[in-house]
Amino acid sequence: MDIQRDEKIETVLAMLEEGYTQDEIVQHYGNKNWKSIDMYFRRRGYRWKDGTFIPFDEKKEQERKEVLASVQTELTKAAKIIRSLGKEYADIMEVATKNGFESTEELGQYMMSKGYKWNQEIENYVEFTQEEEEELPTGEHTLSTFNLERNQQVDALLTYLLQNEEQLKDLLDTTNRQLPTFQLRGGNANKTLTMNTKLTALLVDYSDEYNLTQKSIIETALVEFFEKYNYKEEVNKLFLN
């Protein structure tokens, strides 16, 4: 919708800027209530926000809704389960337990209710349509058909672990390393950031899994970034002695 401006639009905006209340503006124009003023602006491409009317961009609003939907999708419990199973050497029983399920069958039933089915080839869940669900034979709705007897794969895995024992030890030492904490000068300030939806989801997952605030994770990441990339002297001045 094209944004339209006329004398009434200009006058109302000016009155709002000068501090007139909604009731005073309604009385000025002789309307019954504020809804009449609001509808007048809506028909001309405006929306009420933060105490005034602003031009409404339908395209930007649609993009905002799509981004919000994408973020919400990334942060769902089902998406978190899929990301956990996508990790190397993921243990499905461990993933089920961490997410509050007593068995893999219960996990499978939950994922089916959210529109996902087990894919044996990738050993993870994938989305499915209602038509696909109707075509599935009885018994394929849960992980009861998940084959846990994979001796050849287990043997291959053990061989691989033995061949890479030293690297594995180094990896485990790094994984178990305690997250550094920094005592910094100054107070707290609000900062709104637009981030990649998948990074946002990882931030939430890590915060939940390791019981850390998102603030401490981001501050630690920033400090180490500054130290590594030419700002070590500046960031060192922020540390409390």
Give the span between the Cα atoms of 31 and 52, in whole angstroms. Answer: 18
Give the span between the Cα atoms of 196 and 200, in whole angstroms. Answer: 6
**Are residues 94 and 104 located together in one domain of the fold?**
yes
pLDDT in tens, 24-61: 999 999 988 999 999 999 888 888 888 899 888 777 77
With a cut of 70, say whether residue 175 has pLDDT above it: no
Residue 188 in any domain: the answer is yes
What sign does the CA torsion over 35, 41, 42, 46 have? negative
**Are residues 137 and 170 located together in one domain of the fold?**
no
Please, are residues 82 and 125 in contact by the beta-carbon 8 Å criterion?
yes
Domain that holds residue 89: 73-146
More confident residue, 171 or 133: 171
Residue 160 in any domain: the answer is yes
**Are residues 137 and 155 located together in one domain of the fold?**
no
DSSP state letter for 116: E
Residue 32 in any domain: the answer is yes
**Are residues 172 and 183 located together in one domain of the fold?**
no
**Are residues 108 and 140 located together in one domain of the fold?**
yes
Residue 111 in any domain: the answer is yes
With a cut of 70, say whether residue 155 has pLDDT above it: no
> What's the pLDDT score for residue 14?
93
Residue 61 in any domain: the answer is no
Give the span between the Cα atoms of 37 and 121, in whole angstroms. Answer: 60
**Are residues 137 and 90 located together in one domain of the fold?**
yes
Beta strand extents in the chain (DSSP E only): 46-49, 52-55, 116-119, 124-127
Residue 1 in any domain: the answer is no
Q: What is the mean pLDDT of residues 163-185?
A: 69
**Are residues 87 and 142 located together in one domain of the fold?**
yes
- 3-state SS track over 188-218: CCCCCCCCCHHHHHHHHHHHHHCCCCHHHHH
The whole-chain average pLDDT of the chain stands at 78
> What's the pLDDT score for residue 12?
94
With a cut of 90, say whether residue 169 has pLDDT above it: no
Q: What is the mean pLDDT of residues 203-213?
A: 82
**Are residues 237 and 213 located together in one domain of the fold?**
yes
**Are residues 31 and 79 located together in one domain of the fold?**
no
Residue 2 in any domain: the answer is no
Least-confidence region, from 107-111, 146-150, 202-206, 218-222: 146-150
**Are residues 90 and 106 located together in one domain of the fold?**
yes
Give the span between the Cα atoms of 38 and 25, in whole angstroms. Answer: 11
Q: Structure tokens of 218?
A: 């981001």
**Are residues 78 and 137 located together in one domain of the fold?**
yes
Q: Given pLDDT bands bounded at 50, 70 and 90, which one contains residue 19?
A: very high
Give the span between the Cα atoms of 223 and 237, in whole angstroms. Answer: 11
**Are residues 94 and 135 located together in one domain of the fold?**
yes
* Buried/exposed 137-163: b ≥16 CB within 10 Å, e otherwise: eeebbbbeeeeeeeeeeeeeeeeeeee
Q: What is the number of domains present in the chain?
A: 4
Residue 66 in any domain: the answer is no
